[in-house]
Amino acid sequence: MLGLVPGAATYSKQGMKTGRSHQIRLIRTTYVHIECKDPDGVTSFADYPYILELPDGEVIRDRLDQDGVCHHDGVLPGECKFWLVFDEDPPPAPPRTHTIKLRLEDEDGTPFAGCRYELVIGPETFKGRTNDKGVIVHEVPEEAEQGELHFWVEDDPDAEEMVWPLRVRDHLA
């Protein structure tokens, strides 16, 4: 983005129809980066609404990202004004999770690679395929204690389904 500023460097360009040269004063744009955290610097204000007034008078109303950051490129140099909007209800806290990891293999230690599965943990069902090493990795709710793994060795829709109960704490990554 280019803007005119008195006394700035100039850029010359030959006019297309007139054949005359034009002098244009240029400035460089910059960016605004604001990170919002609590006084201890631990908890971010993720997804909070904010208002940002740019030096050119433009007003931006948006929400902080998942890390509590407001970032805008292409801003003209000058003073910006920033407000967090607290009169709206704060966003709900994201659910706390654990990572679980399972490796599926046959009795000889050969991994069940690329096999279809459904992992049922509480009300949630995670569907997918094992990786090339027969591994399944998922984020599950922190309070989850038990679940079931439904697993198919063959891709055939009528293939035999294997079901294994699991205790979440035994598979934490």
Nearest C-alpha neighbor of 99 from the set 127, 125, 138: 138
Name the more confident of 155 and 42. Answer: 155
Query: CA-to-CA distance for 164 and 143, rounded, in angstroms?
Result: 20
Ordered structural domains, the chain, with CATH: 10-84 (no CATH), 97-171 (2.60.40)
The dihedrals phi and psi of 29, each to the nearest 5 degrees, come to -85, 165
Give the SS3 label for residue 171. helix
Residue 16 confidence (pLDDT): 55
pLDDT average, residue stretch 79-99:
80
Name the percent of the chain lying above pLDDT 90: 48
On the question of pLDDT at 81 being above 50, the answer is yes
Query: CA-to-CA distance for 48 and 22, rounded, in angstroms?
Result: 46
pLDDT in tens, 102-152: 999 999 999 999 999 999 998 889 999 999 999 999 999 989 999 999 999
CA dihedral 49, 52, 58, 61 (to 10 degrees): 0
